[in-house]
């Protein structure tokens, strides 16, 4: 995201190998004005690695799971496993 706070940072920061690295990346995201679009991009494209929109891989999986569950409950879409 060329307009984000991450544009001024080393890209490797956003692909950490430990929890400390995740927190560093999230701290950079916390000052960003486009975390929403960044997160939605990662979710829409099923990006599995790195910190996007201030969310870790685990957090994005949880968001997708919660959205699928909500869609099933409201009957909006049929979701394949």
Q: Where are the beta strands (DSSP E) in the chain?
A: none
Q: Three-class SS of residue 55? A: strand
pLDDT tens for 55-70 read 999 999 999 999 999 9
Q: State the distance between the two ends of the chain, measured CA to CA, in whole angstroms.
A: 31
pTM of the model: 0.83
Confidence at residue 40, expressed as pLDDT on a 0 to 100 scale = 98
Residue with tokens 């891989």: 57
d(CA 59, CA 24): 16
């Amino acid at each position: 995201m060329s307009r984000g706070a991450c544009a001024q940072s080393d890209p490797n920061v956003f692909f950490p190998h430990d929890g400390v690295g995740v927190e560093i990346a999230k701290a950079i995201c916390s000052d960003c004005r486009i975390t929403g679009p960044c997160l939605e991009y990662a979710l829409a494209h099923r990006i599995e690695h790195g910190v996007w929109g201030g969310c870790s891989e685990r957090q994005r999986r949880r968001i997708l799971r919660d959205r699928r569950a909500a869609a099933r409950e409201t009957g909006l879409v049929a979701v394949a496993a």
